[in-house]
A and B are shown apart, each in its own frame.
Chain A
Amino acid sequence: MRGNHVLGEAAVLAGCRFYAGYPITPQNELPEYLSARLPQVGGVFIQGESEIASVNMILGAAAAGARVMTSSSSPGISLKQEGISYMAGMELPGVIVNTMRGGPGLGNIAPSAADYFQATRGGGHGDYRTPVLAPSGCQELAELTFLAFELADRYRNPVMIVGDGIMGQMMEPVVFPDPIDPKDLPEKDWILTGCKGRAPRAMFSMILDVNKMYKHNLKLQEKYELIAAQEVRYEALGVEEAEIIIVAYGTAARIAESAIEELGPNGLSVGLFRPITLWPFPVKPLRGLAEKASKIAVFEFSTGQLLEDVIISVGERAPIYFYGIPGGVVPTPAEIADFMRSVDRGDGTIGRRIEV
């Protein structure tokens, strides 16, 4: 199955019953899939008049108790930040998919990871965070879609899935997790359904009383700390004895994996560290590995965003080398193998050494 269809099917199987979105390339196969699939399970698909309207539709549907999703690509995700901030403030669960493309501005439709800062630092206005999941293949895409809905409900918070056009078009076999019937999900005791048999409920993010706003923010921060403590996910391949550890996520991690294969068993000793949650970032695991490895290499489809989290994690424990590709150019595994050879030599012919 193609990545965009995997995501749609996984969402439906995970109990998603409401999707609203506005077309933008390269993620259109996802809403197209859901427009036919959601009605089959009694769900609702709406093609909104804009990204802003769409994200606010899922805000409403989440308040009414449904598992909800919207998706877009970079410029559209910028528009959705209004609703994401409100959902964070009102503690509403929902899944937002960003099939990232080249930017800034309208950019291009080629794969990119340039929205890393936006995704991992909240994205919209206000002091909030959203868990960010970065799958690197179709099977993981299916599993992380389930996880995204679960985390959203568990923490009453928006959750992002980030990928790119390659992931959306990539075709791989998938085994889906067991389907979830929304009726079997735990009852939500905070949703709006009309006040029959109970006191009226009000949902809002405007808190004019400074003390209450202060407390609300501290409560949110407690939640984010809990997420950071409990939900870190990553994959480490061949890192134990590795001289060099390359840090990459999503499609870039797939290229790095191929590059390691290309270097061969008798070549350089390179391990792969792949963050699966970009927020919370696996700071401690990477820090632990940096104590032992002699060099850390960072490869990303952006020009120094993932790098910042690596610097926070690694500090001066190991020298950091960086290779970032801007604006939708996809390097070959051979190029990344060359980057690693350059890291090994420490000569900076590909990429550069980062002074921390």
Chain B
Amino acid sequence: MGGNFALGYLTFMLEGALWTVGLSLIVLAWGGALALVVALCRISGLAWVRTITALYIQLIQGTPVLVLIFLFYFGLPTLLGWSLSPLLAASASLSIYVSAYLGESWRGSIQSVPKAQWETAECLGLSRTQRMTRVILPQAIRIATPPTVGFMVQIIKNTSLASIVGFVELVRAGQIVNNTIFQPFAIYVLIAALYFSMCYPLSLLSRRLETRAGDKSYA
């Protein structure tokens, strides 16, 4: 193996890792907002809203994230007439991917709030909106927290695909460094280690929250 792994390369890759975190947070925020809409539409009183949302979820869950990214980065500009930056294309497509998976997971959390809670709220004369915001969602958030923290790991891992359209996050930063020193195996080991150090704490936290939620179960 030739070449030196200078400190400059390491800082460059750490900057890339910071972008991985940044992109993950953007995707979590936008994807989470969309997911809430998806979850509420899935339990809407209107049948056609439920059907369309179910179809949306089926379509997104049946398409690879990579194809979604390509669709936004290469496909959308031909429709819009202007090009999307890698950051915009990646965050938009990843948010849509997140909305389908997290939306379906959150729908489950909302529906697993015991039926008596819905009925009691109705008996107390709360409107549908009040019932949702004051009674159901606060309890659903508690149920949804462990799987959502677990899903953060999926988000972080999937941001690596943004490297393919040229967004300089951790993987792309590593590839750029590799172009100068050509030690692909060592660099990918380092990339993997950095991803592990970001994802493993979240995995542990999700597992701990899950066991704690199990103790407090009242359903």
A and B: bona fide binding partners:
no
The residues of B with any CB-CB pair to A shorter than 8 Å are none
The residues of A with any CB-CB pair to B shorter than 8 Å are none
